Amino acid sequence: MISDAEAVMRAAMAVQLRAIAEAEERRIPTGQGARKTETWLRATLNIAAGEAKNRVLAARMATERTNLQGETIPAELPATAEAIAAGAMTVAHARVIIDGVRRMAPVCTPVELGQAESMLAGYARDHCPHDLAKLAERIRYYFDQDGAFRTEEVQHALRELHYGTAADGMTVINARLDRETGAKFRAALQPLAAPRPTVDGEPDPRGPGQRNADALNALLDIAIASEQLPRSGGQRPHITVTIDFDDLARALREPGVLPGTLTATGQPITAANVRRLACDAEILPVVLGSDGLPLDVGRAERTAPPHLRAALQLRDGTCAFPACDRPPGTPEAHHIESWVDGGATDLANLVMLCGHHHRAVHTQHWTITVEDNRPVFTPPTTVDPERRPRPGGRPVGAEHNTLLQQVIPRPRRSEETTHAA
Ligand SMILES: [Zn+2]
Ligand SMILES: [Zn+2]
């Protein structure tokens, strides 16, 4: 039924395109005071400007029509015209072919151009306009290697990336990247931006824009952690925040708390978020103290040394949060009791979390305990009114062995029997 309706619409469109071509042939649009056929059609049919342009181009280049003398004028693009008349392609397809042929025309012989057009028209019958455009570009690359190379050089010269702070404090990024950089950007971003289900198996509630932004955040973490970025003043290029230690300590409890300052931008940031940033001081060392002076809190008190991080990662993986399937990024060592409040930096008080779940734990206020060397996450009432604890971390082999022995007990051969045999 839907296909039948589409066939009727395409047949009607073919009739309309021919009528448009003949109207132009008879100079009707200019006769009615329109400067261009596009504007005349747009006004006559009350359609969008882009749609009017597509139809006029398809009519002009890919439609057979009769002139005032009653002679048949063949279409400039015969294969495309034939496909349109047969209802085998849409106007959007035709537009792609027209643009492709126009770009090829200066570098192809008429025979080559005809071959390319008939190839595109054939391909359009069972491929979408997007794929068709890719084929058209590839054909142009084939015929005009010098021109294609020049295009790439020009695109490289046109590369740009700008960023600034909007009035609301958010950073706005605007970029045009050459092919190579664009491909690199996608290759790095896409795996990090993949949707992932929530703890309850619900689909990822984040929109594509939010997922891309999160992916960029993860990408920056990876870049910063890679130690390959140029150092300034011997420091790794971390985020630095200045905040009064008292404000940080009081952040969750009292009114009148002063915000911290992001040194890179001079922007204020809430003490509550500084607490999260400061949680894993290895990733984000925070300069503390009023007057912007580093506060004398020993590094040992707040950073997890490499052997501790290794042990944590062994116990928790990249993220200990129940059912986290976050693609690998930089894990953050979360202090269950903040070091600001005197929490120790040891295995019993640390849990590895991905950036996403680290944020969730802080903002939703999950309760975390470590039981039998395994982190257990108790949700807040906003997530689960009954607050049922959920085991986190990753199941370890020893734990599975114990479970096996409990559920399916089997006699184990003793050392003596083994030796006797
Ligand atoms: Zn934390
Ligand atoms: Zn996670």
In this model, does residue 164 exceed pLDDT 80? yes
DSSP secondary structure string for all residues of 229-280: SPPBTTB-----EEE-HHHHHHTTT-SSPPPEEETTT--EE-HHHHHHHHHS
Residue 351 CA to residue 349 CA, distance in Å, equals: 7
Give the model's pLDDT for residue 255.
Answer: 79
DSSP secondary structure string for all residues of 180-237: HHHHHHHHHHHHHH-----TTSPPP---HHHHHHHHHHHHHHHHHHTT-SPPBTTB--
Banded model confidence at residue 3, pLDDT cuts 50, 70, 90: very high
Which ligand neighbours the alpha carbon of 218 most closely?
A: 2
In this model, does residue 385 exceed pLDDT 80? yes
Q: Which residue has the tokens 């992916």?
A: 215
Which ligand neighbours the alpha carbon of 393 most closely?
A: 2
Which ligand neighbours the alpha carbon of 357 most closely?
A: 2
345-366 per-position pLDDT tens digit: 888 899 999 888 888 898 888 9
Give the model's pLDDT for residue 37.
Answer: 95
Q: Which residue has the tokens 């971003």?
A: 189
Which ligand neighbours the alpha carbon of 366 most closely?
A: 1
In this model, does residue 160 exceed pLDDT 70? yes
237 CA → ligand 2 middle, Å:
24
204 CA → ligand 1 middle, Å:
22
In this model, does residue 18 exceed pLDDT 50? yes
Average pLDDT over residues 128-135: 94
218 CA → ligand 1 middle, Å:
16
Q: How many CA atoms lie within 13 A of 203 on its CB side?
A: 3
User: Angle 110-124/129-143 helices, nearest 10 degrees?
Assistant: 160
212 CA → ligand 1 middle, Å:
23
248 CA → ligand 1 middle, Å:
13
Strand order across the 241-243 sheet? 268-269, 260-262, 241-243, 287-288
Which ligand neighbours the alpha carbon of 197 most closely?
A: 2
Which residues crowd ion ligand 1, with CB under 5 Å?
279, 334
356 CA → ligand 2 middle, Å:
6
Q: Which of 98-112, 238-252, 294-308, 396-410 has the highest mean pLDDT?
A: 98-112
